[in-house]
Amino acid sequence: MGIETDIANDWNAALAALAWQVDLGVAEIIGETPLDRYDLPEPVKLADPVVLPTKAPPPRVATQAPPSAEVALAAATQAAAGASSLEDLREALARFEHCDFKRGARNLVFADGNPKARVLILGEAPGVEEDREGRPFVGRAGQMLDRMFAAIGLSRQSPDPATALYITNVLPWRPPHRDPSPEEIDMMRPFVARHIELVDPDCVVVLGNTSMQAALNTTGILRQRGTWALGFGKPVLPMAHPAYLMRVPEAKRDAWADLLSLQAKLRG
């Protein structure tokens, strides 16, 4: 065995011995006060029964707090259920503290358009311009949306419910650099459900995956678009998001077919 191996062995043995002492509870080598070891009290003999004072066990405390997603969902459900008008709902959202996006947002983006409209449009979340103005769909995607629905005679400015739109989003705060997670969508769903209940439109158009997930619990917007389904107790039409249509103009043809399907539903 070479000298280097001996040194390594000694070092490992010393480390093991130290670990063993720490395990035993040896926490100090030299105490602060001197100890006369010739004058220590008699050690307790092992044979002697040791009677320990009886002490009530500490009360059991629940060690597992409910996960924060459950707490947030319960808070959202309670807050949304307590809203008996759109104004109440807006205030309940303004008081809601469980959504991280709120901290980075400038404004709460609640809704736009006519609350008596037959058609409610559910978008995903505000972008930079919406966050700045506090109104949904005011940026380029919003202008595209206005043009699309104007083509079938619907507008957010219309005072007539038959030709009006009401527009809101799954998230009322701008997510800075990422899509909302499924848990965040779940958390906001009670607010969206109550929002739709209070407006009570004849049908809902969901734009993009986040809103389809909120309404129908599924994704794959390009597969599902144009197929009516039931969500929040209403007929729901999934459509591609206007931002997608701006990136992929070929998809506008399908979007036009979806708009005609909406028009037929409203006439039928």
Could you say whether residue 165 binds ligand URA (CB under 6 A)? no
Q: Please name the residues in contact with 159: beta carbons below 8 A apart, sequence gap of 6 or more.
A: 114
Residues facing 119 on adjacent strands: 165, 203
Task: Lay out the site mask for ligand URA across 142-161 (x = CB under 6 A, - = otherwise).
Answer: x-------------------
Q: Which residue from 89, 117, 121, 124 is in contact with ligand URA, where contact means CB under 6 A?
A: 124
Q: Are 219 and 240 in contact (CB under 8 A)?
A: no
Residues facing 111 on adjacent strands: 168
Which residue, 142 or 238, has its beta carbon nearer to ligand URA? 142
Using CB under 6 A, which of the segments 117-125, 150-158, 186-194, 256-264 binds ligand URA? 117-125
Could you say whether residue 89 binds ligand URA (CB under 6 A)? no
Q: Which residue from 130, 131, 184, 258 is in contact with ligand URA, where contact means CB under 6 A?
A: 130
**Residue entry with tokens 């995956």:** 209
Q: How far is the CB of 105 from ligand URA (least distance, A)?
A: 12
Whole-angstrom distance, CA of residue 48 vs CA of residue 45: 5
Whole-angstrom distance, CA of residue 59 vs CA of residue 44: 32
What does the DSSP assignment read for 173-206? S--SSSPPPHHHHHHHHHHHHHHHHHH--SEEEE
Q: Which residue from 123, 190, 201, 231 is in contact with ligand URA, where contact means CB under 6 A?
A: 123
Closest residue by beta carbon to ligand URA: 123
* Residues forming the site for ligand URA (CB under 6 A): 123-127, 130, 136-137, 141-142, 169
